[in-house]
Structure 1
């Protein structure tokens, strides 16, 4: 992985917190009015646009209810000013169907002058995820 500078280190710490299932560390990094965007088709329960910490907390509950992440790996973290772009891959099992799938992902973070995340966007293979979630 690249040498991480200030915001890149913060993002890396968020991924470490996620792998520990330490939601409070993640929520503490968000601004009060953070916008959290997760791409996805209507079949993906956790997809959508979330506003503020309580709403984003609901996102994580939906994600946990929907998927069992067996592997979540960060490959690159790139920083430019207050913007961080990270990429990697994950393997998961859809809890309701027990179907496994893998996808690459790219996540974009924007920080404010108080070093809080004000905007987040998650992009991944939503079609593969939706297929794993389908009962048929």
Structure 2
């Protein structure tokens, strides 16, 4: 049996994503180091954008996700790994709750893994498209 520490960086990040979409908050947070640095790039008036440090700050980010987004599709297409680093690329579609608009984007998530957990998370998407999806009308 493979232990948490024997998984590759890409497997750790894929496991986090699977857990996140299962909507089990505590199991999702258990995939992160206590001092995780969490970054989502884009316009600061979008509620989930910005840099957060530590599990409590990520817990606050996760609380913002359900009232703002309905995930419709999320596909990891490629995983690139080098030691403790993983880059996953893919495509997703979410519905923006406040506007009812669908938002689709390619994405890249760049992560650093330490002791079988995510220590740094940097999610890159079409931030302008996301901002536009949050605009009424």
Same fold (TM > 0.5) = yes
How many Å apart are 1:91 and its aligned residue? 0.6
3-state DSSP of counterpart to 2:86: strand
Contact 2:9–2:112 (Cα < 8 Å) also in 1:
no
CA distance in 1, matches of 2:24, 2:77: 21
Contact 1:19–1:72 (Cα < 8 Å) also in 2:
no
Aligned residues: 131
RMSD: 1.3
Structure 1: stretches of 5+ with no match in the other structure: none
CA distance in 1, matches of 2:38, 2:113: 12
CA distance in 2, matches of 1:58, 1:33: 15
Structure 2: stretches of 5+ with no match in the other structure: 1-6
Counterpart for residue 124 of structure 1 = 125
CA distance in 2, matches of 1:15, 1:92: 15
Contact 2:12–2:118 (Cα < 8 Å) also in 1:
no
Does residue 74 (structure 1) correspond to residue 63 (structure 2)? The answer is: no
